[in-house]
Amino acid sequence: MKDVIKILTLGDKILVLLLAAFSALSFFWVNSSSEVGEFVVVTTADAGMIRKPLMQDDIFSVTGPVGRTRIAIQAGTVRVLDSDCPNKICRDRGAISESRRIIVCVPNRVTITIEGRHGSKFDAITG
């Protein structure tokens, strides 16, 4: 590592610092620009799309290829109560309440997202 630092010019070091600063700032900007969600959108392979208000408490189930997934909307959050999938990663994800947050049950092909009032200016965010 010391050999690499020795061969870098001043311009290289400045460029690396600027790129690191830009990356950190963009990460915080993207995460801080979430808006409060208004609707829960549940998409399944079989049933299509279900859209429910986030502020209206409800417990319901959807069916996928593996079995049943129970979803709870409570106090402005949504979470998976239980699923017939093997690893239960979707259940362990916890509750979400902001737009652009997502819960996915891959084996059961269920996707839970939250929509805000104005929608999202991003199609997807990876990280």
pLDDT given for residue 91 in this prediction: 93
Q: Which two tokens stand for residue 53?
A: 């208000």
pLDDT given for residue 119 in this prediction: 53
pLDDT given for residue 32 in this prediction: 65
pLDDT given for residue 89 in this prediction: 92
Only one residue has tokens 């690191």, namely 20
pLDDT given for residue 124 in this prediction: 53
pLDDT given for residue 70 in this prediction: 95
Determine the 3-state secondary structure of 37 from DSSP.
Answer: strand
Single-letter code of the amino acid located at 59:
I
Single-letter code of the amino acid located at 31:
N
Q: For each successive 10 residues of the chain (127 residues), what is the average pLDDT?
A: 81 92 83 73 87 93 92 94 92 88 92 77 52
Beta bridge partners of 72: 59, 79
CATH class of 37-116: mainly beta
pLDDT given for residue 2 in this prediction: 75
Query: Which string of b and e fits 20-51 if b means at least 16 CB within 10 Å?
Result: eeeeeeeeeeeeeeeeebebbbbbbeeeeeee
How far apart CA 7 and CA 107 sit, in angstroms, is 49
pLDDT given for residue 50 in this prediction: 92
Q: Which two tokens stand for residue 16?
A: 């690396």
pTM of the prediction?
A: 0.68
pLDDT given for residue 71 in this prediction: 96
Query: Which string of b and e fits 56-71 if b means at least 16 CB within 10 Å?
Result: eeeeeebebebeebeb
Name the residue ranges covered by the structural domains of the chain: 2-32, 37-116
